[in-house]
Amino acid sequence: MHANQFHEIMQDAELANAIGPVVRKHRLSIELAAVLLQKSGVARAENAAQIAFRSLTPIASTRS
């Protein structure tokens, strides 16, 4: 992985962490969160919205 890609992923994750409480409180969909981020001028808004939404979704247990 290139340093630039890693930096972009980390920026997306930081943004997702920051918007997570708002997404959770207002129960925003990925699409709506992405649109709102785009309107706010956020680069890579779709990626940040997806990360924020996934962080709210519980991971299924892999234990049998």
Q: Could you tell me the residue range of the domain that residue 44 belongs to?
A: 15-50
40 domain residue, yes or no: yes
Is residue 37 within 8 Å of residue 19, measured between CB atoms? yes
Residues 6+ positions from 51 with CB-CB distance below 8 Å: 12, 13, 15, 16
Ranges 35-39, 46-50, 53-57: which has the least confidence: 53-57
CB-side exposure of 23: number of CA atoms within 13 Å?
25
The number of folded domains in the chain is 1
Is residue 6 scored above 60 in pLDDT?
yes
The mean predicted confidence, pLDDT, of the chain is 84
31 domain residue, yes or no: yes
6 domain residue, yes or no: no
58 domain residue, yes or no: no
38 domain residue, yes or no: yes
Q: Can you tell me the distance from the alpha carbon of 6 to that of 2, in angstroms, rounded to the nearest whole number?
A: 6
CB-side exposure of 53: number of CA atoms within 13 Å?
14
pTM: 0.71
25 domain residue, yes or no: yes
42 domain residue, yes or no: yes
30 domain residue, yes or no: yes
